[in-house]
């Protein structure tokens, strides 16, 4: 299975995120090949990378909160080969009009908001009544869709302004498809995810990722740009040599934006440090009102209460999260996915399918937003269906 060209490994993976790491691990384990991972960043793990903050003892998720959850047994069994998980259960709260409410909207939120003690049936009837003339309709814009799903008062309190900040656009000008559903739980369950398994890696995300590629046949080159022809693992050289490539960068960048640019949203973070042990009392606090410019705040210490003896009891760090449209040089987080973007991606997808010896994967390579478990599942499938056959063919 060794490469005929001794200058290169058997497989080059562009991007050290979860897709690339999973493929590398599988290729080495299943076929014994030599793999080179390159990444333009100075760390592995993609957007799930984390590091320890020395002042507070908190594990900082550099690109925003990452929470592992899945109902996919194949994925759960796979990740548990490299890390064990804490018993963390994600719960979110929202500040509205100076008061804190539990999310997702549930019977506790409803009764607190209306200062009532509705039963599940009474709360359901109330919300249907508050949807008014939009109840049961199929609105075209997000604003009317939100009202039709959860009624005007709850929509305007918890969704409208938050969404406007998230998209920098009035919800009446956004497509209804962004919120195809807005579940209201007619019980007091405020667990955010419904998946079978949930938790955070016991030793942190980066330790998990390092263990995945802890094999001498996997080499990693950081601060290495696939499009920089001064370094050996560049696009032109690899294609000319016929080296199999797994590409997880932006698909439009691969083709030098020759059909146009796909649009993304990005997130800016503002760090605030407090001389107190706990500022919010929870890991994530949403801010639903228009007069607060950020969408939410993340208090990292509260993701890992089991590490209390390793954390500073007098200091905490919070990141405020601001959403905006991304420029080409920004970190792309969420695809905009307008009809024009979808049509443009369809053209790039066709070009990608015709690219010899290259498999495109991950959220950037396929212009889609995925949770971590989705990325791992897709990487396992892509390895079986595309990458292993490509390597065996060579």
Active site amino acids:
181, 185, 265, 296, 321, 369, 371
Enter the tokens of residue 385: 């269906």
8 A C-beta contact, residue 66 and residue 370:
no
8 A C-beta contact, residue 316 and residue 276:
yes
Sequence-separated (6 or more) residues with CB below 8 Å from residue 226: 14, 38, 40, 233, 234, 235, 247, 249
The Cβ of residue 342 has, within 10 Å, a number of other Cβ atoms equal to 13
Counted residue by residue, the chain has a size of 394
Enter the tokens of residue 5: 């060209």
Numbers of helices and strands, H then E, in the chain: 14, 16
Q: Quick one: CA torsion of 286, 289, 293, 295, rounded to 10 degrees? A: 20
Q: Within a 13 Å sphere around the CA of 41, how many CA atoms are in the beta-carbon half?
A: 15
8 A C-beta contact, residue 190 and residue 103:
yes
**Sign of the Cα pseudo-torsion (65, 70, 74, 76, in order):** positive
Taking the C-alpha atoms of residue 32 and residue 1, their distance in angstroms, rounded to an integer, is 8
Q: Which residue has the tokens 């709360």?
A: 123
What is the full DSSP assignment across 151-189? -HHHHIIIIIHHHHHHHTS-GGGSBGGGGS----BSSS-
Taking the C-alpha atoms of residue 282 and residue 299, their distance in angstroms, rounded to an integer, is 7
Sequence-separated (6 or more) residues with CB below 8 Å from residue 162: 94, 286, 287, 288, 295
Interior/surface letters 15-28, b for 16+ CB within 10 angstroms, e for the rest = bbbbbbbbbbbbbb
């Amino acid at each position: 299975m060794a490469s005929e060209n001794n200058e290169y490994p058997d497989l080059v993976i562009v991007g050290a995120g979860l897709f690339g790491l999973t493929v590398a691990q599988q290729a080495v384990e299943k076929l014994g090949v030599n793999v080179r991972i390159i990444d333009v960043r100075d760390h592995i793990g993609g957007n799930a990378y984390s590091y320890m903050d020395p002042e507070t003892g908190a594990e900082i998720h550099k690109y925003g909160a990452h929470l592992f959850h899945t109902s996919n047994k194949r994925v759960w069994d796979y990740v548990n080969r490299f890390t064990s998980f804490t018993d963390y259960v994600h719960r979110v709260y929202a500040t509205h009009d100076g008061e804190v409410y539990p999310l997702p909207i549930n019977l506790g939120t409803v009764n607190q908001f209306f200062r009532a003690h509705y039963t599940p049936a009474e709360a359901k009837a109330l919300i249907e009544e508050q949807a008014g003339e939009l109840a049961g309709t199929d609105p075209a814009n997000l604003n009317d869709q939100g009202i039709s799903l959860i009624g005007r008062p709850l929509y305007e309190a918890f969704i409208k302004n938050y969404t406007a900040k998230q998209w920098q656009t009035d919800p009446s000008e956004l497509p209804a498809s962004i919120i195809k559903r807005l579940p209201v739980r007619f019980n007091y369950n405020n667990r955010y995810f419904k998946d079978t398994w949930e938790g955070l890696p016991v030793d942190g995300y980066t330790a998990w990722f390092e263990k995945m590629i802890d094999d001498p046949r996997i080499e990693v080159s950081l601060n290495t740009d696939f499009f920089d022809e001064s370094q050996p693992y560049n696009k032109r050289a690899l294609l000319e040599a016929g080296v199999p490539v797994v590409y997880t960068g932006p698909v439009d960048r691969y083709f030098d934006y020759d059909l146009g640019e796909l649009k993304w949203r990005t997130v800016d973070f503002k760090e605030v440090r407090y001389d107190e042990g706990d500022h919010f009392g929870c890991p994530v606090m949403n801010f639903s009102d228009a007069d607060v410019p950020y969408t939410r705040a993340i208090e990292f210490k509260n993701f890992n209460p089991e590490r209390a003896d390793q954390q500073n009891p007098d200091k905490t760090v919070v990141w405020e999260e601001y959403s905006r449209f991304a420029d080409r040089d920004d970190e792309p987080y969420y695809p905009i996915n307008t009809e024009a973007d979808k049509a443009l991606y369809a053209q790039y997808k066709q070009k990608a399918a015709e690219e010899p010896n290259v498999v495109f994967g991950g959220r950037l390579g396929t212009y889609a937003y995925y949770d971590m478990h989705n990325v791992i599942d897709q990487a396992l499938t892509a390895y079986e269906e595309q990458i292993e056959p490509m390597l065996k063919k060579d």
